[in-house]
A and B are shown apart, each in its own frame.
Chain A
Amino acid sequence: MSVSFDLATIWAFIIAFAVFAYVVLDGFDLGIGILFPSFAVGEERDQAMNAIAPVWDGNETWLVLGGGGLMAAFPLAYAIVMPALYPPIIAMLLGLVFRGVGFEFRWRDPRHRAFWDFGFTAGSVVAALAQGITLGALLQGIKVTGRGYGGGWLDWLTPFSLLTGGSVVAAYALLGSCWLIAKTEGEAQRRAYRLARGFGVATIAAIVAVSAATPFLTHDYYTRWLTMPGILLTAPIPLLVGVLSLLFWRALGSEAEYKPFLLVLALFGLCFVGLGISMYPFIVPNEVTIWAAAAPASAQLFMLIGAGIMIPIILAYSGWSYWVFRGKAGATGYH
Chain B
Amino acid sequence: MFDHVDAVNLARAQFAFTVSFHFIFPAFSIGLASYLAVLEGLWLSTGKQRFLDIYRFWLKIFAVAFAMGVVSGIVMSYQFGTNWAVFSDKTGPVIGPLMAYEVLTAFFLEAGFLGVMLFGMKKVGKRLHFAATCAVAVGTFISAFWILSANSWMHTPTGYAVNAQGQFVVAGSWLKVIFNPSFPYRLVHTVIAAYLTTSLVVGATGAWHLLKDPADRNARTIFSMAMWMAALVAPIQIAAGDAQGLNTLEHQPAKVLAMEGDYDASPDGAPLILFGLPSNEEGRVRYKVEIPHAGSLILKHDPNAPLQGLKDFPRDEWAPVWIVFWSFRIMVALGFAIFGLGLWSLVARMRGKLYDWRWLHRAALVMGPAGFVAVIAGWVTTESGRQPWTVYGLLRTQESVSPLAAPAVASSLLAFVVVYFAVFGFGTWYILKLIAKGVEVGESELGDAPIRAAGITPAGQKL
Contacts and interface: CB of A to CB of B under 8 A. Distances in A.
A147 B115 contact: no
6 contacts: A67-B77, A67-B81, A108-B430, A149-B85, A149-B403, A153-B405
B122 A93 contact: no
Contacts of B83: 83
Interface residues of A, number: 73
Given A53-B119, A82-B402, A64 B107 contact: yes
B105 A324 contact: no
A117 to B, nearest CB: 13
B170 A299 contact: yes
Given A104-B63, A314-B112, A93 B423 contact: no
Nearest to B102: A68
A82 B165 CA distance: 19
Contacts of B67: 100-101, 103-104
Contacts of A273: none
B119 A83 contact: no
Contacts of B430: 104-105, 108-109
Contacts of B113: 317, 321
A150 B395 CA distance: 22
Interface string B163-199: 1011101100010000000000000000000000000
B359 to A, nearest CB: 33
Is chain A's interface secondary structure helix, strand, loop, or mixed overall? helix
Given A63-B74, A67-B78, A68-B102, A333 B433 contact: no
A72 interface: yes
Nearest to B65: A104
Contact of B104 (A76, A296, A311, A335): A311
Contacts of B77: 64, 67-68
A42 B455 CA distance: 8
A39 to B, nearest CB: 15
Interface in B55-100: 63-64, 67-68, 70-75, 77-78, 80-83, 85-86, 88-94, 96-97, 99-100
Interface stretch (B215-223, B266-274, B446-454): B446-454
B105 A310 contact: yes
B405 A152 contact: yes
Contacts of B73: 64
A75 B458 contact: no
Interface in A42-99: 42, 46, 53-55, 57-58, 60-61, 63-65, 67-73, 75-76, 78-83, 86-87, 89-90, 93-94, 96-99
Closest 7 CB pairs of A and B: A75-B92, A72-B96, A82-B81, A54-B115, A107-B458, A79-B89, A100-B71
A71 B105 contact: no
B88 A79 contact: yes
Given A58-B112, A64-B103, A100-B71, 15 more contacts: A64-B77, A72-B96, A78-B89, A87-B412, A89-B82, A93-B75, A96-B71, A108-B434, A152-B405, A153-B404, A153-B408, A306-B104, A314-B104, A317-B113, A334-B123
A141 interface: no
Interface residues of B, number: 84
Interface of A: 42, 46, 53-55, 57-58, 60-61, 63-65, 67-73, 75-76, 78-83, 86-87, 89-90, 93-94, 96-101, 103-105, 107-110, 112, 147-150, 152-153, 295-296, 298-299, 302-303, 306-307, 310-311, 314, 317-318, 321, 324-325, 332-335
Contact of B108 (A81, A112, A296, A318): A318
A150 B404 CA distance: 10
A46 B82 contact: no
B116 interface: yes
B5 interface: no
B64 A333 contact: no
